[in-house]
Structure 1
Amino acid sequence: MTQQRISLNKCPNNTEAQNLPVVSQFHLMSLSENVEVQPFLLVLFLSFYMVTVLGNLLIILAVCSDFHLHTPMYFFLSNLSWSDICLISTIVPRMIWDIGTQSRVISYVSCLTQMSMFILFACMDSMLLTVMAYDRFVAICHPLHYKIIMNPNLCAFLLLASVLASLVDSQVHNLIVLQFTHFSGMEISNFYCDPSQLLNLNCSEMFTKSIVIHFIGVFFGLFSTTGIISSYYKIISSILRIPSKDGKYKAFSTCGSHLSVVCLFYGTATAVYIGSTSSYSPENCAVASLMYTVVIPMLNPFIYSLRNRDIKIALRKLQRRAI
């Protein structure tokens, strides 16, 4: 099969598109063409991966082992840690393999599998951050009714709803991409099978592609951001009504870590989404993608543990047990 490397979004007309060969593989973008830099990148991303997995596993172990952390907030935090481990595991091991073998080729099936898993866990992160914002809203705005509202049944339902919504988002993308039979090329302008890049390479029905990119993306993104913004609007309003400065600081400190993660996650994700639907630089898009697929999952354990006294105490207990 002749390998065609055609510029992104330059599809032939309908007649010519029917004559395009069936694509069986794609070429991912290399983070650096400099051969001397490759060993450094391999060690760097292997270190990122190990730190991320270890850090998030420690959060999960701390929450599971300490009875004082068996609360809705830490229940959702431990599930966010699982999701972060799975998210980075869909990206970094393949990246390390590509750097080590000096290959950027990924099969069509592997690419769709990676895309599907990436959407699943990225959407899970988004949904869990939304649920955690609601949890903080109830804790600050309705503290006396917190245990009644955030009961185990509601927590289980919110987690199940997050998983199902993520599965729907992932499978809808997968099903529609499977309908595409012609692509304008095999070059994906990112280091992983970015859904927006695959959709932009499509030479099939443009209306369907627009629905996937805009409607589904906007629906899930708008749902999450609306939930987070409305929750924090009410949280800030409640904090401002607290008379003492110490009370305001204590109330805000309970959601400071979550707000930091939200800003990092949605800031970089928005940059990638906007860049994929307009003129953009592949290098800048790759940097933003690295932030929310690799760096943020690695930072989450540090953000939550360094600013959280309960997590610190639980980790010290784990350390004493290990010794």
Structure 2
Amino acid sequence: MATHKLLLLPGDGIGTEVMAEVKRILAWLEKAGVASFAVEEDLVGGAAYDSCGLAISEEAMKRAFAADAILLGAVGGPKWANVPYESRPEAGLLRLRKDLELFANLRPALCYPALAGASSLKPELVEGLDMLIVRELTGGVYFGEPKLIQDLADGQKRGIDTQVYESYEIERIARVAFELARTRRNKVVSAEKHNVMKTGVLWKQVVSEVHGAEYEDVVLEHQLADSCAMQLVRAPKQFDVIVTDNLFGDILSDVAAMLTGSLGMLPSASLGAVEEISGRRRALYEPVHGAAPDIAGKGVANPIAMIGSLAMALRYSFGLAEAADRIEAAIAGTLAAGFRTGDIASPGTTVVGTSGMGDAVIAQLEKAA
């Protein structure tokens, strides 16, 4: 049995609590003979700043480069609101994405049948929802230069962020979207703002060229990003795969997340290119939710997104699709059995805490085994 190198970065807030449930799932997988893991753990975000004055240490980065996959909990919180900008908790996550060249962010939005009533939309609009947002993650306005605040002669200030994309960045994220669409319902919507942004003009042009040259079998539609957001809350089940840039992907994926009932439900994957020699692909997996400092330490956080992130790691990094299916089926079974954390609770359900939800998922795994 191959041993998979896994780096755990629990981070801040509820990150440590939901990561504890992942450790329990990993232990169950090993005990059941499903897989073997060499697990290391380190600090990121505010926890790392408190320890070494940086959002992630050089030692942690070395471990990240050596790992087959990284699982990250969450970063941030009001405790670190006034630290230097370059050392803010989010800088640790941004450095991981940039240095590891994790250019493709996959954010599934899946509405479990048992949770259709938990969405802010009518159940008939979201029941059966199964879509995927593919977000370009290492370019665009978050990384473009110059990025600064200028003092002007009249006493005013000017803030500058720069949106930059090169054609190769658009080509590679488009290929990821088209390849994934071929494994799903074979439809891609590309979202940008070509009506007001030159990067949008280039984005639409390059995506169309990649489609015409390599993926004519996949249905391609173009939508303006603001119209796409509107359509997400009007008729979300029309979408299969959405491919978009860093900024719009950040926004659209959070909109899609709330269609499912809770940010606490959704995992994500950030993938790099496949290495030619080793065939390995650097990857980081994390829940969509943040550090949620308002509930941190109370034992009530929903661990399903973190457990789902482990399932994505099993599928995309370790080639353990069957084990990933088992975990996802256990999550569905837990919800069908009526177990809920407070964020997704409804009348007639059994409200449990973080560890209670972990217990229920493991019980479903045991039952299936």
TM over 0.5: no
Query: Which structure shows the higher strand fraction?
Result: 2
Instruction: Select the structure with the greater relative contact order (CA < 8 A; seq sep ≥ 6).
Output: 1
- TM-score by structure 1 length? 0.27
Query: Which structure shows the higher helix fraction?
Result: 1
- TM-score by structure 2 length? 0.25
If you compute each CA radius of gyration, which structure gives the higher value, 1 or 2? 1
